[in-house]
Each structure stands twice: as C-alpha cells, then as structure tokens.
C-alpha cells in the first residue's frame, strides 16, 4: 500500500510556541500516520461480529459508544452503535486479514488512515486550548482516560481521544485530512497565548 | 441555546447536529392514487406552536438519525430516540462515565 504522507507538509514547523513562560502550557505533535480501519455493521448481526472480533483478534469490543479498548497495538473505538474504528500499529495486517473474512452482508470495512491527520496535545493547558473550540466537558469526571468524543472545533469535524497518561492530560485529535492545515492554523493560534512548543512529527 | 441529548453520545450542543425535517409527515402508500394525500405529503407542513416531532442527524457525533420532540416556542427538548428503533441494539448505548 502507498505510504501515508503528512497533510501538513511545510506548514508544520517544530519549535517554541507563542509567549515564553516558566513552563510549557501546551505541547503539540503531529503523530505518525495511523492504520485506521472503519467497520460498519447492521443492528441485527452486530453482536455476532463483536463476538467474532473478540474470538479472532483477542480484543473485547467496547460496549458503550465513545469508549476504547486496547490490546497490544490495536485499539477499538466504538464510534457509533454499529460502527468501530480499529487504530492499529504493526498488527494492522492481522486486523485486515480478519476483516477480509467478512462478507458485505456482515459488515463493510473501509481503510481511512489516509484521510485523517492525528495531532497529540499534551501539557497543563491542553484542556484550555481544546475548549477554546470544543463544546465538550473535558473535566476528569466527565471525560476520563480512554474516552473519546466526536464533535466540531472551529466548524471542523474532529474526534478527540483522551489517552491514558501518568503525566497530565493527553489527547489525540483526529482531523479530516482536507481540513488539517486549517485546523492546524487554528490550533497554533489558540495555543500561542498559553505558551509551549511544537515537537518534530512523531 | 439548543442542546440535544443523543441516546449514544449524551448531551451535545446543536452545532453538532443537522436538522432533518418534519418527523410527523408520513408518506402515502406507493399504490395510493389520491392526489390530495400526495399533495399534503409533498407540499404541506404543520407549523405548530409548541411540541413538534422532527428528525435530527448527529452528523458530527455518532452519525445516527434521531427523532426529537422539541417545543418550537421554548426550544425545550422533550424526548430523543433513535429514528429507527432498529438502530438501537442492546449494546452501544450512551456511555456513562460520571
Ligand atoms: Zn450521537
């Protein structure tokens, strides 16, 4: 398969961000392209599909929308009642092999890794910068680790996943490739007053 | 301010939703040849002052179609359910994280 290339290109420049402060408020980093496979099923048979995923891939499918389960380097995001995202590392071949056993009557799978830019936002002000555009409560009680939300920032559709982290709040934001540059410009502008840095792409 | 509690995603701001029209307007049988019923269906809508059932699409959230009963005067949302109950499997309900 063709390599996935960054949608940000020359717009992305690592370095200090905004006002120098005693501590970096926000750290931004573009993530390496993700193997992302979307699986959509039908209400009547979706339970059976979830069972075969557990049996064949050894990953329990999240029961609730907006939650994530992870096993090895594969995470499953339940993005809808009958829709999943597989976010895969090197195990993507295993997931693909499984999805190829499914007929169109069972589920439809679509590779969407090429269509998303993933940006990691960390730091003590990570919530502040997100909430400058995101109408979602990011408080610990409402938005704990391994929960995600699909919403809009600056009229741009996003999926925001709160990552497990022992080092303060951390979020991966999935943005459609066609809006990546526009979103990046918004993000840098929103983060600059909080101070921070942009790391080299992962 | 209009907020809709999606059965799958919880309470969300209206910017995530798209309006999908009147949910009380039912299509005549295709075999129905009564021009009056078709004219009603195609051209005429009630415009109630008060409760009204309508379709909303959670287009930036879970992408599900919802049937929302809303008060057109106060914007109070009275009920929300999946547009097709067959879209509501026993799994995949709203996450409860509080
Ligand atoms: Zn929803």
**A160 and A191 belong to one structural domain:** yes
**Using CA atoms, how far apart are residues B79 and A139, in angstroms rounded to an integer?**
27
Ion ligand 1 neighbours, Cβ < 5 Å: B 6, 8-9, 58, 61-62
Q: Which residue's structure tokens are 């497990």? A: A164
Confirm whether A2 is domain-assigned.
Answer: no
Residues B9, A150: C-beta atoms closer than 8 Å: yes
* CATH number for B26: 3.30.2270.10
Q: Give the C-alpha separation, A182 to A193, whole Å.
A: 19
Sheet containing B18-22: which strands, arranged edge to edge? Answer: B18-22, B51-57, B65-71, B77-82
Q: Identify the domain containing residue A180 by its residue range.
A: 18-33+115-198
Ligand 1 centroid, distance to A177 Cα (angstroms): 22
In a domain, B88, yes or no: no
Whether the pLDDT of residue A92 is over 80: the answer is yes
Give the end of a domain, one of A71, A87, A113: A113
pLDDT score, position B79: 93
Residue A3 in domain = no
Cα A156–A158–A163 angle (5° rounding)?
150
Maximum C-alpha span of chain B: 54
CATH of the domain at A173: 3.30.1360.120
Q: What is the Cα–Cα distance from A174 to A79, expressed in whole angstroms?
A: 12
pLDDT band at A1 (very low <50, low <70, confident <90, very high): low
Confidence of residue A29 (pLDDT cuts 50, 70, 90): very high
* Closest CA–CA distance from residue A100 to any residue of chain B (Å): 24
Same domain, A27 and A88: no
**pLDDT, tens only, B26-81:** 888 999 999 999 999 999 988 899 999 999 999 999 999 999 999 999 999 999 99
- Regarding whether A104 and A92 lie in a shared domain, the answer is yes
- pTM to 2 decimals? 0.89
A150 and A108 assigned to the same domain: no
Residue B11's domain comprises: 3-82
A144–chain B Cβ distance below 8 A for any pair: yes
The shortest C-alpha distance from A182 to chain B (Å) reads: 17
Q: Note whether A182 and A144 are same-domain residues.
A: yes
Query: Is the domain of A148 the same as that of A121?
Result: yes
> What distance in Å separates residue A134's CA from the closest CA in chain B?
10
Here the ipTM equals: 0.87
Domain count for chain A, please give it. 2
∠ CA A44-A38-B17, rounded to 5°: 80
Same domain, A88 and A41: yes
Q: What is the predicted pLDDT for the residue at A24? A: 73
Are A121 and A163 in the same domain?
yes
Asked whether residue B38 is domain-assigned, the answer is yes
Q: Does residue A9 fall inside a structural domain? A: no
Q: Alpha-carbon distance A69 to A63, whole Å? A: 9
- Rounded CA-CA distance B78/A94 in Å is 46
Nearest Cα to A109, choosing from A53, A67, A51, A32? A53
pLDDT tens sequence across A126-153: 999 999 999 999 999 999 999 999 999 9
Task: Select from A63, A142, A150 the Cβ nearest to the Cβ of B97.
Answer: A142
Closest chain B residue to the Cα of A158, Cα to Cα = B60
Residue A13 domain flag: no
């Amino acid at each position: 398969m063709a390599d996935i290339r960054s949608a940000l290109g020359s717009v992305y420049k690592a370095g200090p961000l905004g006002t120098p402060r005693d501590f970096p408020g926000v750290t931004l980093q573009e993530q390496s392209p993700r193997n992302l496979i979307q699986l959509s099923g039908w209400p009547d048979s979706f339970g059976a599909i979830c069972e075969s995923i557990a049996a064949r891939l050894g990953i329990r499918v999240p029961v609730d929308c907006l939650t994530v389960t992870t096993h090895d380097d594969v995470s499953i995001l339940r993005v809808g009642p009958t829709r999943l995202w597989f976010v895969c590392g090197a195990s993507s071949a295993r997931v693909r092999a499984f999805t190829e056993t499914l007929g169109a009557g069972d589920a439809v799978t679509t590779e969407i890794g090429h269509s998303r830019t993933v940006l990691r936002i960390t730091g003590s002000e990570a919530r502040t910068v997100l909430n400058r555009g995101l109408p979602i409560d990011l408080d610990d009680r409402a938005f704990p680790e391994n929960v995600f939300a699909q919403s809009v920032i600056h009229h741009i559709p996003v999926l925001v996943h709160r990552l497990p982290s022992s080092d303060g709040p951390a979020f991966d934001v999935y943005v459609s490739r066609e809006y990546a540059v526009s979103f990046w410009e918004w993000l840098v502008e929103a983060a600059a007053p909080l101070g921070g840095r942009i790391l080299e792409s992962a | 301010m209009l907020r809709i509690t999606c059965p799958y995603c919880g309470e969300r701001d209206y910017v995530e939703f798209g309006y999908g029209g009147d949910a009380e307007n039912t299509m005549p049988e295709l075999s129905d040849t009564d021009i009056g019923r078709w004219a009603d269906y195609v051209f005429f809508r009630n415009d109630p002052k008060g409760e009204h059932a309508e379709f909303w699409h959670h287009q930036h959230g879970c992408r599900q179609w919802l049937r929302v009963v809303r008060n057109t005067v106060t914007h109070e949302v009275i009920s929300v359910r999946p547009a097709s109950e067959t879209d509501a499997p026993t799994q995949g309900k709203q996450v409860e994280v509080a």
